[in-house]
Structure 1
Amino acid sequence: MEAPYTTPPQRDSWFAPLSIDLLVKVLRTSFFHPFIAWIVPLCFRAQNMFWDAPPMLVSIAWATFISVCWIFGTINARLAFGLPREVDLSEEVIVITGGASGLGLLIAEVYGMRGATVAVLDVKEMESGEARGVTYYKCDVTDKAQVARVAADIEKDLGTPTVLINNAAIVVGKRLLDMSIEEIDKSLTTNLVSHFYTLKTFLPGMTRSELGGTVVTVSSVIGQIGAAQLTDYAAAKAGITALHKSLSAELRETHPQIRTVLVTPGQLSTPLFYGVQTPNTFLAPVVEPVDVAKEIINAIDNGHNAAIGMPLYARWVEWYNVLPLGVQAVFRRLAGVDAGMKTFLGRAGAKHSSKNGVLI
């Protein structure tokens, strides 16, 4: 008999949309923005306040401090990522693995509507059916022979790929002792080894292209902190983060026309992690795919090297590993990191609830 389906608890409190990310975003466009900061002393001066008045001095000091921070931030980004490459969407051929649903599908549809040439590689049919400007290729990225065959088809049909978005992923969601060797192999091959297959297949064409290229690696914050019931997934994501950093160093020396973008999101609101409940919506809000897609598309469009971390804690999580082990253990308990997967349902649960009118 089929087990009864239980809908995950919903967050319906009035303060659910409030998060630290929202507060930081508001502050960055108000008190922490140079333009706004300098308006304050100008308003004081418009009121005929003397330059040496305490409120005037404090506001000028604050505006100067914020301006210096923004200048240093710009210099830091230039030193870290270098100059951008020129991007012409009409000339770009974008390959997206795992692009039949979720984040990959969203990026594919946006670029297809904007006139770029997009190739989606996935073992599943596209959820939205046909999309304008998007060509679907049935491909299991864990099979290097299939990847090579599809790459030849893309070269013949669309041209030489200039953007590769490695987005394909699966989640088993079991404890290590409960997983079979076959499940471990499939998870590591999909989440880690397939990146080597696609890079070895598509990157040589980018290095020969006058347009250069962009490689996007979709990793996860779990690769830096780990979590119960995600041993395979965390190991693979840690691996592709290290792969990305090492590859970026190589390309910086040998092929500076290639840009690299590392994406390390927290929990995404996609079927991949359906059922998982974030323990703290204020400090660790669930990330909407559209927000991540915006950042990825912005980096590709502007030809930037980039490191994208969402939500806020994902950009600072590396400091967690610097803390004493006892402090780390306390933080893990308070954050509920290792309890999140207890309600995991995955894609199967998402499909089930969709049929019953729960998931839209």
Structure 2
Amino acid sequence: MSTKVPEVPAQLPRSFDRPDEPWYRYLNIDLIFYVLSYTLFHPWTSWILVLCLRAQYTPYENIEMRIAMAWAMLMSAIGIFGIFSERIAFGQPREVDLSEEVIVVTGGVDGLGGLLAETYGMRHANVAVLDAKKISEDEAEAKGVVYYECDVGDAAQVEDAVKQIVEDLGAPTILINNAGIVHPKSIIDSTAEEVERVFRTNTFSHFNTLRAVLPHMLREQRGTIVTVSSALGHLGAANLSSYAASKAALHALHRTLCAELAQNPKARDIKTILVSPGQMSTTMFAKVKTPSNFFAPVIAPTEVAKEILRLIEKGQSGEVTAPFYTSWVSAFGVLPHGVQALLRKWSGVDTAIASAGLVKETANEKSR
């Protein structure tokens, strides 16, 4: 007796829907630096070169041998300095067991926050999302995430939501402040209500969640706080005044939070992570083009999420900057003013929003 194999419908990826890109479109400074960091700039690889020269019976007094040894010692010294520097700045890492953590993500329905929430949901962690958007119970159950409809810019709503989270899941120990919106308008065209709403969502929400969650972390004497800011918080940009200013405030808030936690004996195992990415391929700035795909590539949210997850699960404090140029953006202000002006003009940071036609779309609020 034969049995009929059931047919399972499947939709495979259609690669031909994507335009063919030349190979050099995938080559950028981030990829080059990534390869160099594991080869030429890696202490272990540097010493492998020395061993290879010795395997060929290269005398120690030969110039190539001396250069190889000097380079290996330099890379080793830089690596050791980095380890001690991070230990002095951030202290020892804390132990993290996801089964004993309660993770709260603001703005976790889509974008970067949604990616982080769903990743932890798939790993059966206790995840609570605070977002103004509604999610059906079936979708929430499928993702393994508990959603709480909440305007994070409203302190009373945040307090009520956190109380409910404590009853449902337990005391929050990981807080990912990710919620963010943008009104692409010039300063003179922005209304008071629009500016206030941007600051309520992007900045005031951090104060609201910290006041509600941090006392639980102090009682538990452990925790991790992730502050998602932006490289625009250092640079500013035309037609993004409220967004850039709200993100700049988060840099100051993060530094102040670190200083206050450092003075509290109960906060020794409360870690802080500052995230300052460049342009990500999310809906917020989907139409904006960078001036150079080589020096300033658009980064996928998965790359940023991967670094955030790595620091959280290692129990470490730190900073996440991506792509590569964002690591040096904080030093932009120390450059001569003429150099700053030339770099702003070349980068197109002040014309990108208008060129993308986003300034006219003031009726449609772009959400992360």
1:242-301 per-residue CA deviation (whole Å, 9 max, x = no partner) reads 001101110011022211100000011111112111111111111110010011111110
Matching residue of 1:234:
244
8 Å CA contact 1:320, 1:328 repeated in 2: yes
Superposed, 1:136-285 pairs within 5 Å as 136-210=147-221, 212-254=222-264, 255-285=267-297
For residues 148-207 of structure 1, what are the alpha-carbon distances to aligned partners after superposition, in whole Å with 9 as ceiling and x for unaligned?
111111111111100110000001111112222111111111111111111111111111
Structure 2: distance between partners of 1:231 and 1:34: 43
Q: How many residues align?
A: 339
Match among 307, 310, 316 for residue 304 of structure 1:
316
Tell which deviates more after alignment, 328-337 or 91-100.
Answer: 328-337
Question: Secondary structure at the residue paired with 1:16?
Answer: helix
Check conservation: 2:103, 2:126, Cα contact below 8 A.
Answer: yes
SS at match of 1:321: helix
Deviations 1:302-326 (Å, cap 9, x if unpaired)? 1111111111111111211001212
- Conserved? CA contact 1:187–1:232, under 8 Å: yes
User: CA–CA distance in 1 between the matches of 2:135 and 2:24?
Assistant: 35
**Partner SS, residue 338 of structure 1:** coil
AA aligned opposite 1:47: Q
Q: Which of the residues 317, 327, 340 maps onto 2:329?
A: 317
In the alignment, the residues of structure 2 paired with residue 61 and residue 148 of structure 1 have an alpha-carbon distance, to the nearest angstrom, of: 57
**2:3 aligned partner:** none
Alpha-carbon deviations, 1:315-352, whole Å to 9, x = none? Answer: 11121100121211111001111111121549x89x9x
SS at match of 2:113: helix
Where do residues 326-337 of structure 1 align in structure 2 (5 Å cutoff)? 326-337=338-349
Structure 2: distance between partners of 1:98 and 1:132: 15
Q: Say which SS state the counterpart of residue 104 (structure 2) adopts.
A: strand
SS at match of 1:310: coil
Kindly indicate whether the alpha-carbon contact (under 8 Å) linking 1:101 and 1:126 is maintained by their aligned counterparts in 2. no
Q: Which runs of 5+ in 1 are unaligned?
A: 1-9, 352-360
Please list, as runs of the form range in 1=range in 2, the aligned pairs for 1:2-81 lying within 5 A after superposition: 12-81=21-90
Deviation of 1:48 after TM superposition, in Å, equals 1.7
Distance in structure 2 (CA, Å) of the matches to 1:44 and 1:168: 54
Q: Which of 116, 119, 135 is equivalent to 2:125?
A: 116
2:326 maps to a residue whose letter is A
How far off its partner does 1:129 sit? 2.8
Displacement after TM superposition at 1:19 (Å): 1.1
- Kept in 1, the 8 Å contact 2:173–2:224? The answer is yes
Identify unmatched segments of 5+ residues in structure 2.
Answer: 1-18
The question of 1:89 aligning with 2:98 is answered yes
| Residues 79-103 of structure 1, C-alpha deviations (whole Å, 9 max, x = no match) | 1111111111000000000000010
- Cα distance in 1 for partners of 2:173, 2:261 equals 15
Secondary structure class of the residue paired with 2:176:
strand
d(CA) in 1 for partners of 2:180, 2:255: 19
Match of 1:3 in 2: none
The residue aligned with 1:6 is none
Distance, in Å, in 1 between the alignment partners of 2:175 and 2:202 is: 15
1 CA distance for matches of 2:337 and 2:63?
46
Q: Which amino acid aligns with 1:135?
A: V
Which SS does the other structure have where 1:261 is aligned?
strand
What TM-score does the superposition give when structure 1 sets the normalisation length?
0.90
Contact 1:174–1:229, Cα closer than 8 Å, also in 2 = yes
Q: Deviations over 1:15-62 (max 9, x none)?
A: 222111111101001111111111112111111222222211111111
Q: Give the counterpart letter for 2:286 in structure 1.
A: Y
Q: 8 Å contact 2:290–2:347 — kept in the other structure?
A: no
Partner residue in 2 for 1:355: none
Q: Please give the secondary structure, in 2, of the residue aligned with 1:154.
A: helix
Work out whether residues 108 and 178 of structure 2, in 8 Å CA contact, stay in contact via their aligned partners in 1. yes
Deviations 1:59-117 (A, max 9, x none): 11111111111111111111111111111100000000000001001111111122210
Opposite residue 257 of structure 2, the aligned amino acid is L
State the alpha-carbon separation in 1 of the partners of residues 23 and 261 from structure 2: 48
% identical aligned pairs: 49
Q: Which residue of 1 aligns with 2:16?
A: none
